[in-house]
Amino acid sequence: MDKIIIEGGNRLIGEVTISGAKNAALPLMAASILTSDWNTLHNVPHLKDISTFKKLLAHLGATIEDNGNTIKLCTRDLKNHEAPYELVKTMRASVLVLGPLLARFKKARVSLPGGCAIGARPINLHLSALEKMGAKIAIEHGYVEASAERLKGAKIYFDISTVTGTENIMMAACLAHGKTILENAACEPEVQELAIFLNKMGAHIKGAGTDIITIEGVETLKPAEYTIMSDRIEAGTFMVAAGITQGNILIKNCPIQSLDALTTKLKEAGVEIKTENSGTRVIGNYPITSVDIKTLPYPGFPTDMQAQMMTMMSISSGLSVITENVFENRFMHVGELKRMGADIKIEGKSAIVKGRPFLSGAPVMATDLRASASLILAGLAAHGATEVSRVYHLDRGYDRIEEKLAKLGANIKRVKE
């Protein structure tokens, strides 16, 4: 197992290029199941989650050609309709194959993901929506067994805004008979991205990006070629890296239009953000002003940036209240940040962060993907050395982050434990 060692204190200065978005790439890869020919995806990031999803598609019988950031996927000879526990347990997004498999093969067997570090994360809303569309669903031996002759369009109201739930049902509805209306649908940019890709494949989807999405089912879809959007959470993480180190970073391929909630809070905290011809320039200033944050579904403040902002607030000039409304257990980084000297108290859904003049380097352990990023950021700003272990979480969602940070001047290295 690798760990990352950071000697803190360097200002990050220079340019960084953001990779393709993990949470956009995964549903697009799942959507390839809906066709039976070669789909081409460009700007695919190098991540553990992407290789896990490739393994899953290969297990189903897909042929995959890998050429750097471009992958070609052929799902003509799919022979299997089962997503096994071994793959689903390492990556919950595997559940995204449920809707497409059911739509194409009339049956699917997908391991139930179970809980994870950030919350219980049930998939009840995916399942009840498919049932409304006429699927028979049973849970047997830890697997979702789903079958349907042909799914039929339905009006579906999601009790909670769910990103992969909206994506799963949107994909299933593309090949259903008749019209499906999704109400309280997730508005995340990754949902819009999937709708654009599906429409390129011949689907009839309207309203993606709003909370009402209408899908008119078609008989078949054709393959498509597509370039995946850049990762807004990776970009946001580098913005915080500039802010926390009083750095000056030009972020290239920065999807600034989908980062309003974050940039508003960063500006309140005293970070300068300017759009330039070749990217977004982010300049950190001292002191960092404390700000309150409440996570919400898009366009609200992203839960995937909560941990990183908490690190920044732990060295701000005042008191900050950070409220996590999306997941019930997404404060696993708090204990680790406290080991570095942060003053944080959890009260229910909120963390009360009292800014301190500095953090001090310490050995810490990553618990999930975004928590790992928050600890790396803490290490960059801390006095002395920080060792972050269990960085496999980081590798799931950040494309060569230590290389990108080192190029910006961070004193960071990866070592084998």
Interface residues with ligand EPU (CB under 6 A) are 23, 26, 92-93, 119-126, 160, 162-165, 186, 190, 303-304, 326-327, 369-370, 397
Choosing from 74, 116, 174, 254, the catalytic residue is 116
What amino acid occupies position 374? S
CA distances from 105 to 78, 88, 202, 322 (A): 9, 20, 19, 45
Q: Known catalytic residue: 116?
A: yes
Contact 37, 107 (CB under 8 A): no
Q: Tell me the C-alpha distance between 8 and 190, whole Å.
A: 34
Q: Which is nearer to ligand EPU, 74 or 232 (CB)?
A: 232
Q: Which is nearer to ligand EPU, 156 or 344 (CB)?
A: 156
CA dihedral of 58, 64, 67, 72, whole degrees rounded to 10? -130
What amino acid occupies position 331? F
Shortest Cβ distance from residue 48 to ligand EPU (Å)?
12
Q: Tell me the C-alpha distance between 354 and 148, whole Å.
A: 54
Q: Nearest Cα to 133, choosing from 106, 163, 113?
A: 106
Shortest Cβ distance from residue 396 to ligand EPU (Å)?
8
What amino acid occupies position 317? S
Shortest Cβ distance from residue 25 to ligand EPU (Å)?
9
Shortest Cβ distance from residue 231 to ligand EPU (Å)?
9
Shortest Cβ distance from residue 59 to ligand EPU (Å)?
19
CB-count burial class (<10 Å; 0-12, 13-18, 19+) for 84? middle
**Residue 119 pairs with which residues in a beta bridge?**
116
Could you write out the three-class secondary structure of 108-122? EEEECCCCECCECCC
Strand bridging mode 225-227 / 212-216: unpaired
Q: How many CB atoms lie within 10 A of CB 201?
A: 19
Q: How many CB atoms lie within 10 A of CB 115?
A: 11
Q: Which is nearer to ligand EPU, 302 or 361 (CB)?
A: 302
Q: Which is nearer to ligand EPU, 163 or 176 (CB)?
A: 163
CA dihedral of 305, 307, 309, 310, whole degrees rounded to 10? 160
Q: Which is nearer to ligand EPU, 195 or 362 (CB)?
A: 195
Contact 293, 251 (CB under 8 A): no
Shortest Cβ distance from residue 358 to ligand EPU (Å)?
28
Shortest Cβ distance from residue 311 to ligand EPU (Å)?
16
CB-count burial class (<10 Å; 0-12, 13-18, 19+) for 383? middle
The SS3 of residue 74 is strand
Residue 9's region, left for phi above 0, alpha for psi from -120 to 50, else beta, is left
Q: Show Cβ contacts of residue 7 under 8 Å, excluding neighbours closer than 6 positions.
A: 361, 384, 385, 411, 412
Shortest Cβ distance from residue 295 to ligand EPU (Å)?
9
Q: Which residues are catalytic?
A: 116
